[in-house]
Structure 1
Amino acid sequence: MHIVIVDSSRVVLKIVSGLLEPRGHVVHSFTDSAEALAFLSNQPEVRVLITSLQVRPLSGLELCWSARLLAEERRPLYVITMSSARNERNLAEALDSGADDFIDKPPGAEELHARLRAAERLTTLQENLIRLAETDPLSGILNRRAFFAQANTGADRAGNHGRLSMVLADIDHFKRINDEHGHDVGDLAIQAVAKLIATEGKAGRLGGEEFALLLPETGLEAAEAVARRLCLRVRDLRIRGARGPVTLTCSFGVSTWVEGDSVEALMKRADIALYEAKTGGRDRVVSAATDLILARTA
């Protein structure tokens, strides 16, 4: 596991690291609690935080609380506090501040490893629950709720002047596929298209045969290129059917971020573009940058 240790004493850091690294753990040590929090924020692979209560500039309790807020952002994280003064008040304050466990400083080897085994069990369970809550069970990509959460995060990062694009995709004549070849083949088609779209960025299934693709740091021209590439790749798909391979196509709508935008507006423009692609003959890409699409959003 990736583990962050925070203590004002380099001797303590060396002792704890010496207990963990021989067991294969990747240890990141800090004497500065603010630096440790910044590292945690940018390193989602970290599964355990071990911190003393007496650290600066953030106290150990403040660090626990901040780490717990990070964990609420859909990531598994186990927080252990250390203190040489083990008493009921310290224990209660640590647990109330978001800690999951409390250990003496410096910890004994057997106790520390036992607590980390418990941490691994719990974070693995959390990771599985998060995956189940965010994943569409048929396609294996993000479900609608999780995709919108990712899109809102991307929008916050884009701000007013950043780059962010969205591509909506819809399988053409999907009802015909189900009617002529059966729902099993329809499910295989959804899975195949979802797998393709997910190779290009953060993909989600919005429902039925409709998908969305979020492209951070991507302008309109690059997003159009992604959509055209996907359009061609979908044509090459061959889905196994009872009467032989089944082919299919998709229509695509593309939009990009503008100043003062919102996720809802970004998706609305992509949806209108997708509608134009469907009514204009299907198996094509339409961008919301055209005068026609802009007029329809007014």
Structure 2
Amino acid sequence: MHVALIDPSRVVLKIVTEMLTAGGHTVVAFTDSGKALAHVEADPTVTCVLTSLEVQPICGLELCWSLRALASDRRPLTILVMSAAREERSLSEVLDSGADDFLAKPPSVQELYGRLRSAERVLKLQHSLIQQADTDHLTGLLNRGALMRRAGDALANASAGAPLTLLQIDIDHFKGINDRYGHDVGDVVIRCVARTLRETGAIAGRLGGEEFAVLMPGHGLAGAAVVAHRIRRQCAATTVPRQPDLRFTASIGLAEWTPGDTIDTLLKRADLALYAAKRAGRDRVAVTSPSLHTEMVG
């Protein structure tokens, strides 16, 4: 685990750091609880905080409250408290302040490792639940909710000057595929498209049904169009297992982020481009400009 260790004593920090590193954990140590809190807030890779109650300038119990406020259903965080005056503090007081467990200071190696193993089991379960909640179970791609959250992060970076292009992909004549071959085969086609999108290495998700979206941070229209054409060609060349006569194509709409865009406006322009590609005969890639002018790019 990545552990933030906080104690006013450099001797205690040295002793506990050696225990943690010997157990295979990554440690960042602080004597200042305010700096530690700022670090944990800025670094989501920190999954465990081990703090003394005797810290300043933010006292131990207040620090627990502040750390617990950083944790969420998207960011699990274990908070372990240690104190040399453990017998003077009630366990309920510490736990009610947001801590997960209470140790003597300095902890024994056996106690420390045992508490950390317990914390790792809980964190592993929490991360598994988060992954399941974010995943479209048919394709293994991000589901719509998770994709929208990632889009929010991507738009924030775009606002700072990084390019961003959104691809919206729809399988052509998908209803006809379901009607002729059955929904089981339709699901196979959806998974085939998902595999192609996953191979791009971009942020790919399923919006619903036969519709997908791909976020491409760091890519303007030109670079994203190259990827879009590769997706289109791969879909057209895909052979569906046990269905030698089945071929399918996909239409793709592109929109590039411009200042003032939200994810909704970006999706709207990509959607307009997608339907322009379909009106032009499908198996096409189209682009919509901020002025809602649409053009084919192949």
Q: Same fold (TM over 0.5)?
A: yes
Identity %: 49
Maintained 8 Å contact 2:251/2:284 = yes
Displacement, 1:266?
0.8
SS of the residue corresponding to residue 278 of structure 1 reads helix
C-alpha distance in 2 between matches for 1:232 and 1:12: 61
C-alpha distance in 2 between matches for 1:222 and 1:96: 52
C-alpha distance in 2 between matches for 1:227 and 1:90: 61
2:204 is aligned with 1:203: yes
Residue 174 of structure 1: aligned partner: 174
Residues 210-250 of structure 1 deviation map (CA, whole Å, 9 limit, x = unaligned)? 01112223322222222222222223322202x42643221
Count of equivalent residues: 294
Displacement, 1:254?
0.9
Residue 230 of structure 2: aligned partner: 229
Residue 259 of structure 2: aligned partner: 259
C-alpha distance in 1 between matches for 2:185 and 2:56: 59
Displacement, 1:52?
2.1
Residues 76-97 of structure 1 deviation map (CA, whole Å, 9 limit, x = unaligned)? 2211122222256575554344
Displacement, 1:60?
3.8
Query: Match of 1:187, as an amino acid?
Result: D
Residue 153 of structure 1: aligned partner: 153
Maintained 8 Å contact 2:79/2:99 = yes
Query: Match of 2:219, as an amino acid?
Result: T
Displacement, 1:283?
1.3
Displacement, 1:161?
4.7
Query: What do you get for the CA RMSD once the two structures are aligned?
Result: 2.6
Maintained 8 Å contact 1:161/1:258 = no
Maintained 8 Å contact 1:185/1:240 = no
Maintained 8 Å contact 2:276/2:294 = no
Instruction: Point out 4+ residue stretches in structure 1 off by more than 6 angstroms.
Output: none
C-alpha distance in 2 between matches for 1:123 and 1:290: 43
SS of the residue corresponding to residue 214 of structure 1 reads strand
C-alpha distance in 1 between matches for 2:127 and 2:252: 33
User: Is 216-225 or 140-149 further displaced after alignment?
Assistant: 216-225
The aligned runs of 1:174-193 (5 Å cut-off) are 174-193=174-193
Query: Match of 2:224, as an amino acid?
Result: A
Stretches of structure 1 that go unaligned for 5 or more consecutive residues are none
Displacement, 1:136?
0.9
Residue 244 of structure 1: aligned partner: 244
Residues 170-213 of structure 1 deviation map (CA, whole Å, 9 limit, x = unaligned)? 11121222223332222122112112223332211110010111
Maintained 8 Å contact 1:274/1:286 = yes
User: Is 27-36 or 206-215 further displaced after alignment?
Assistant: 27-36
Maintained 8 Å contact 2:168/2:211 = yes
2:94 is aligned with 1:105: no
- The alpha-carbon distance between structure 1 residues 294 and 37, as it changes in their structure 2 partners (threshold 3 A), is farther
